[in-house]
Copies of this chain bind each other. A is one copy, B any other.
């Protein structure tokens, strides 16, 4: 469904939302441990998301990654688009370049509702909401 890169990105965003809710910042090592990902790999991903304005960061002592209140309202759709592009929102399920309502591939109609549901879900789900469920221990980011 998502690339590994995108999975790490979503997990990291939720973790950062959680760790920075008191206004502090969280370092790359803690993030890597917290979401069980390769340290340098998630660093690269977050740097990319930083350039795109999806996550905030600060260098030096007391530095790290953080999300402000508006960042916590970031939707999964924003993250997925930034990392994987919008293939999942609009690409053809059978990989045809020419596939549309007018010129549908054999799976086009079967896919329409599924794609709509995925899009709705990604558009409405916010990082902050997922972080709150995590805080309540209703969900988990790793084994523990």
Contact = CB atoms under 8 A, between A and B. Distances in A.
A130 B105 CA distance: 10
Given A88-B1, A114-B117, A130-B107, A11 B141 contact: no
Nearest to A109: B139
Contact of A141 (B106, B111, B114): B106
A43 interface: no
A14 interface: yes
Interface residues of A, number: 40
Contacts of A38: none
Interface stretch (A22-30, A51-59, A63-71, A94-102): A94-102
Contacts of A130: 106-107
Interface of A: 1-2, 4, 7-8, 10-11, 14, 76, 88, 91, 93-96, 98, 103-111, 113-114, 117-118, 121, 125, 130, 133-134, 138-143
